[in-house]
Amino acid sequence: MLILECPYCGVNADETELHAGGEAHLKRFGPEASDEEFEGYLFVRENPKGVHLERWQHRYGCGKWFHAARCTTTLEVFGTYSAQTLAPPKELVAKIKEKRPDWTWREFGGAST
Ligand SMILES: [Zn+2]
């Protein structure tokens, strides 16, 4: 069973309390965006076999959205963090790279790791 710690209320919530929201850190483009940028925002998603940055909602708890770094093959959770960030925290990236040195994440809008 998937268990994620909500970074807002501190509860270790199991998957029955959570709602998945897809890939984290999608960049929303403005009205001047090209068709390719808008298409990418709407439809293009990562689907890695490995560590993925995801959006989750603590639906039956505090109700807030947060981000999680989770391996899609082993279900290992590397950590959770606020959804009010443009990039994963450096400490979390370091923790992931300790175990998966080749891991990278899809960057949007100049955000850096
Ligand atoms: Zn919560």
For residue 56, give the CATH number of its domain. Answer: 3.30.2270.10
Dist. CA 102 → ligand 1 center (Å): 31
Choose between 59 and 29: higher pLDDT: 59
Dist. CA 56 → ligand 1 center (Å): 10
Torsion of CA 18, 57, 73, 42, to 10 degrees: 130
Dist. CA 10 → ligand 1 center (Å): 6
Give the per-residue pLDDT at 21: 96
Q: Which pLDDT band, with edges at 50, 70 and 90, does 110 fall under?
A: very low
For range 9-22, the mean pLDDT: 96
Beta-carbon contacts of 107 under 8 Å, excluding residues fewer than 6 positions away, are 25, 87, 113
Burial status of residue 52 (CB atoms within 10 A of its CB: 0-12, 13-18, 19 or more): buried
Q: Which pTM value belongs to this model?
A: 0.87
Q: Report how many domains make up the chain.
A: 1
Q: Is residue 29 part of a domain?
A: yes
Give the per-residue pLDDT at 112: 39
Residues with a beta carbon under 5 angstroms from ion ligand 1: 6, 8-9, 58, 61-62
- Interval 39-52: pLDDT, tens: 988 999 988 999 99
Q: Is residue 14 part of a domain?
A: yes
Range of the domain at 47: 3-99
Q: Is residue 104 part of a domain?
A: no
Q: Which pLDDT band, with edges at 50, 70 and 90, does 4 fall under?
A: very high
Give the per-residue pLDDT at 97: 95
Q: Is residue 105 part of a domain?
A: no
Q: Is residue 113 part of a domain?
A: no
Task: State whether residue 108 is helix, strand or coil.
Answer: coil
Q: Is residue 107 part of a domain?
A: no
Q: Is residue 28 part of a domain?
A: yes
Q: Is residue 7 part of a domain?
A: yes
